[in-house]
Structure 1
Amino acid sequence: MEIWRENERNELGGNMKNYILVIDEGTTGVRALIYDRDMRMLDFVYEALELIYPEPDEAEVDANEIYDKTVKVCRAVVEKCGVAAEDIAGVGITTQRASWTMWNKETGEPLHNAVLWFDNRGRHQKQKYMDDPVFSGSFPGLAEALPGFYVPLILDKICDDSPEFAEELKKETTLFGNMDTWLIWKLTNGAVHATTGSMTSAGMIYDNEHCCYNLPFVGYFGFREEMLPEVCEETGFFGNMSADILGVEIPICGAFADQQSAMFSQGCLSPNTIKCTMGTGTFVDINVGSEIKTVPGLSSMISWNMGGERLYLLEGQSSTAGTCLEWAKNKLKFFDDFSEMDDLAESVDDSGGVYFIPALAGMAFAPYNDETAKGAFMGIGPGADRQHFVRAMLEGIAFAGVLFMEEAAKMGVGIDEIKVSGGVTKSRSVLQTMADVTGARVIRPKSVEATALGAAEAAAIQLGWMKPADVEKYLEIEQVVVPGENSEKLQETYQNWKKVVERTLNWDC
């Protein structure tokens, strides 16, 4: 897709337009934010999404709800900030990765609910392909290695469950896209069908090294080239947002996958820099530079493409972090408000021998790679009370993040500094645990909205307002946590926690 020429950028990013609208579509909600030229957030508006769990291992959301609430928050934030739509220079978009949908390009209607990134139903299809002699002959050993969240496996499961959907998949009117593609397509009234390397590299349908779709492989599952979106730079031009939204057309001039967006805005621009985002899930990302690298148990992805330069990362991820805390609040009633967590945890000296394993959606990550694992509280004695359970939960969530850093250390990454973001990192207990166990400085920015800021910066780069190297000057540090007096004890607790994890594995046996 053609990138704007310099004079067009300067004209549209001129003095008459002073704001960027950011759409931040996450797992559990959609927010719209307004940023000024100095990358300061004026305000935001948020709408929650209703997640759907039709069967065990399945996680969905209504794709139309995502779009409708996106439009709603865009209109609301402009009104809330008192900003004229004519004064918005561009739109930046950041969305959850590896969640996807398919739709009819003539009607604009989804063919199925959007499938969320932690949906694991594909694991039920693995045996089918392990037993398929044609597949095994063409792709030896791959069926066993495919994770349950692999998009083609889930697509195959949906086709098995719905013959009607299987028929729609064969039609030339069918399009595929992650949430960024879906929103761009809808916001441009179907004019643009595009994505970015940071987004598509997470879905395992793209060859990240050669930057093309794995058509021989994914074609076996029914994918065709014409249904897949064009892959563009994160600072590219993605068409104009329709005047139907805010009354005027506004260029969409930046799109970023959520984790890479946070990594970018936190200044992880050079090799061996580490970012840890704790929101719905935990994501630890390590910049590995311009050459792709592989480490067993960690995912290799594209960080971003900007100005013809492509960078890569290694990532470890756990699908449950904030999800566990929501469960503790809403189901277990451990606390009424998240602000109570730290006080409860700090009211006791330790977890009282209680351990929490945050495997509510399995542990399909290094070093365990077990989709059957289950969440658990263990080590419960008669002296355990609510405070011990809460402390064990916060420690367990922090420990899961440390696991990935241990894997990174095996490839020679020195862990001296960890940049964090996401709602869970507001917990001082989580950050202190992470610092104590790793021995590293944990740095939290003033705003934990690092994901939205990265999308704003991508748009600002396209508009000519800044350059990639400028991100450091927009990063305001609120807190630096260093290892404390409890470090040795926490490191021992962490080693014991890893032994407890072993007892939650192979749950299907």
Structure 2
Amino acid sequence: MKPYILAIDQSTQGTKGVVFDGEGTLLARADRPHAQKIDANGWVEHDPREILQNTLAVARAALEKAGVDPADLAAVGISNQRETVLAWDKTTGQPLYNAIVWQCGRAKDLCARLADAAPMVRQKTGLPLSPYFSAPKLAWMLEHIPAVRQAADAGTLCCGTVDSWLLWNLTRERVHRTDYSNASRTGLFNIHTLRWDEELCALYGVPVQALPQVYMSDGVFGTTDLGGFLGRAVPICGVLGDSHGALLGQGCFAPGTAKATYGTGSSVMMQTGDACIESTGGLVTSLAWGLSGRVNYVLEGNLNYTGAVISWLKKDVGLLRTDAESEQLARQAHPGDRTYFVPAFTGLGAPYWDSEATGLLTGITRTTGKAEIVRACLDSIAYQITDLLECMGRDAALPLAELRVDGGPTANRYLMQRQSDLACLPLAVPAVQELSALGAARAAAQGAGLCACKDFGRPAYTRYQPRMEEAERRALYGGWQDAVRRTLYH
């Protein structure tokens, strides 16, 4: 049998099916977007049924495009959008509400009500008490959605992150499982004891029995025939949150290695090995993964709006026709213009964690036009990543040799050079962009016994070197910090 791996990358904007051969070479991919349900409050939801339908569709399409005989498929891996939470009834398998997306800030009042518990939440989970994470969203559902409350009272509630919903529906065994990386992002998992924490569950009113079993990321989660498409059962044996998948795909195995994923939002992660480092600068501590029976930790900073800034420029304000046009306009901008844009559409994430902050365009002069505004929006992505890297350097006391990056916006050469300049770090951009999928495939290959993670897929890199003078860098970054201060809620 030729060993092929199918990776399902379920992200905020859509779902990809990606097929790799036994050496980790990408053979084919298929994509399908799903609707972003945003109401007048700015609350963000996804339809769980649409996500499941799209997952099956792209899996089948990618395998057909690659010309893979289902008999040759060795394993399936899953990477998924994190913090997004779902609830369904285990007797019917039907969702009880839409998935509440990680971007959604609807639970901010609930978090304010629980503010006294913030130190306990931070100590046990490594996370701040924030509407960003799964637990407050789930608590909101239990308070406001009668069907969720009724299922909890009846003992039939199942809840979890997107991976657990997919596993429930894809596996023939109907398993309710998740992995260490996803569990560590819920706000209900104790990253020291490596268990669901009863005190945290009581705080949010979440029944412990409604939560999934937690497995190693390279564990065997169950078997799937992809809704009958395969005609046989294959193991799902690689599951990771998408940012953790990218960390694994980037080969960040050693303490002090780091990656930044540019997606709708961004995750910047530094591998810290078996050291659970508590941040003093607004970062969070999470589990990188569980592999080969051991867990590793990371320092991480999360940003709500990075790649989504480009989408906003294109779809909402009409300053761009295509994503690629942003690079052209940024290069045309007046070099002396000092316009700054802070994309606090739904508050600011790390390292500020201010859900009340609002967006700001400042520094406008007579030199400011379309090109300058577009450049300021692109620069806001690089500035936010730099904020997080500065915090990581202080918290971990581990020198960074380079930053490995992935995601659609890394195709923007202006942005990548700007990022290298502002962070004063070499950047490594892989030739393969599906890093989350590659990470899931690496875990699946190891879980299926094909090869070790490190030996599956080794992407080539394009590198950028910092070219900006230090005085200019300090001046630009100081202007950004001043702009951020203006947005923060007081």
Q: Same fold (TM over 0.5)?
A: yes
Aligned to 1:344: 329
Query: Which amino acid counterpart does residue 226 of structure 1 have in structure 2?
Result: Q
The one-letter amino acid of 1:287's match is Q
1:273-327 deviations in whole A, cap 9, x for unaligned?
Answer: 1111111111110111102111131111111111122110000010111111101
Secondary structure of the structure 2 residue equivalent to 1:267? coil
SS at match of 1:392: helix
**What SS does the aligned partner of 2:271 have?**
strand
Inter-CA distance 245–319: structure 2 relative to 1 (3 Å threshold): farther
Q: Could you say which residue in structure 1 is the equivalent of 2:88?
A: 103
> Any conservation in 1 of the 2:2–2:22 contact (CA below 8 Å)?
no
Once the 2 structures are TM-superposed, how far is the Cα of residue 225 of structure 1 from its aligned partner? 2.4
How far is the alpha carbon of 1:57 from its aligned partner? Answer: 4.7
Whichever residue aligns with residue 25 of structure 1, its letter is Q
Question: Matched residues in 1 for 2:251 and 2:175: separation?
Answer: 30
Structure 2 residue 204 is matched with structure 1 residue 237: no
Number of the residue aligned with 1:191: 174
**Cross-structure match for 1:492:** 475
What is the CA–CA distance in structure 2 between the aligned matches of 1:347 and 1:27, rounded to whole Å? 31
Query: What is the CA distance between 1:168 and its match in structure 2?
Result: 2.4
Rounded to whole Å, the distance in 2 between the matches of 1:244 and 1:215 is 38
**1:206 and 2:204 equivalent?**
no
Which residues in structure 2 correspond to 1:376-415 (within 5 Å)?
376-411=360-395, 412-415=397-400
SS in 1 for 2:107: helix
**Alignment correspondent of 1:331:** 316
Shift of 1:404: 0.5
Q: Tell me which of 413, 416, 437 is aligned to 1:452.
A: 437
Paired residue secondary structure (2:310):
helix
1:78 alignment partner AA: L
Amino acid paired to 1:291? A
Residue identity opposite 1:336 in structure 2:
R
CA gap of 1:106–1:500, structure 2 versus 1, over 3 A, is same
Instruction: Report the Cα distance in structure 1 between the residues aligned to 2:214 and 2:73, rounded to whole angstroms.
Output: 25
User: Is the 1:274–1:417 contact (alpha carbons within 8 Å) kept by the matching residues of 2?
Assistant: yes
Deviates more, 1:100-109 or 1:168-177: 168-177
What secondary structure is seen at the aligned counterpart in 2 of 1:380?
coil
**Pair 1:245–1:403, CA change in 2 (3 A):** same
The one-letter amino acid paired with 2:403 is I
The one-letter amino acid of 2:356's match is: T
Q: Residue 246 of structure 1 aligns with which residue?
A: 230
**1:110-509 to 2 correspondence within 5 Å?**
110-129=95-114, 146-189=129-172, 191-242=174-225, 244-296=228-280, 297-350=282-335, 352-366=337-351, 368-411=352-395, 412-470=397-455, 474-485=457-468, 488-506=471-489
TM superposition shift of 1:433: 1.3
User: How far does residue 494 in structure 1 lie from its aligned partner after superposition?
Assistant: 1.4
CA distance in 1, matches of 2:354, 2:145: 28
Q: 1:52 to 1:400 in 2, by over 3 A?
A: same
Contact 1:253 1:463 in 2 (8 A): yes
The SS at the match of 1:218 is: helix
Does the 8 Å contact 1:351/1:389 carry over to 2? Answer: no
- 1:268 alignment partner AA: C
* d(CA) in 1 for partners of 2:122, 2:244: 32
Does structure 2 conserve the Cα–Cα contact (< 8 Å) formed by 1:105 and 1:190?
Answer: no
Between the aligned partners of 1:263 and 1:33, the Cα distance in structure 2 is: 17
Q: Report the residue type matching 2:483 in the other structure.
A: V
Note the alpha carbon deviations across 1:232-267, whole angstroms, 9 max, x for none: 111111111135243322211211111111111111
> Could you state the TM-score of these two structures normalised by the residue count of structure 2?
0.94
The AA in structure 2 aligned to 1:295 is S
Say if 2:13 is the partner of 1:23: no
State whether residues 289 and 311 of structure 1, in contact with CA within 8 Å, keep that contact through their aligned partners in structure 2: yes
Q: Equivalents in 2 of 1:129, 1:256: separation in Å?
A: 29
Residue type matched to 1:269 in 2? Answer: F
Alpha-carbon spacing, 1:140–1:308, altered in 2? closer, same or farther (3 Å): closer
Compute the displacement of 1:79 (Å). Answer: 1.8
AA at the equivalent of 1:199: N
Q: Is the 8 A contact 1:301 1:314 kept in 2?
A: yes
Q: Which runs of 5+ in 1 are unaligned?
A: 1-15
Deviates more, 1:167-176 or 1:86-95: 167-176
Q: Which amino acid is 2:83 matched to?
A: A
Structure 1 residues 255, 155: closer, same or farther in 2, change over 3 A? closer
Question: Alignment partner of 1:166: what SS?
Answer: helix
CA 1:309–1:152: 2 relative to 1, 3 Å: closer
Give the number of aligned pairs.
485
Q: Does 1:78 align with 2:63?
A: yes
Identity between Structure 1 and Structure 2 (%) = 29
Alpha-carbon deviations, 1:81-135, whole Å to 9, x = none? Answer: 222111111111111111110101111100110111121111111343459xxx8
Structure 1 residue 454: deviation in Å?
0.7
Please, what is the CA RMSD of the aligned residues?
A: 2.2
Gapped runs of 5+ residues in structure 2? Answer: none
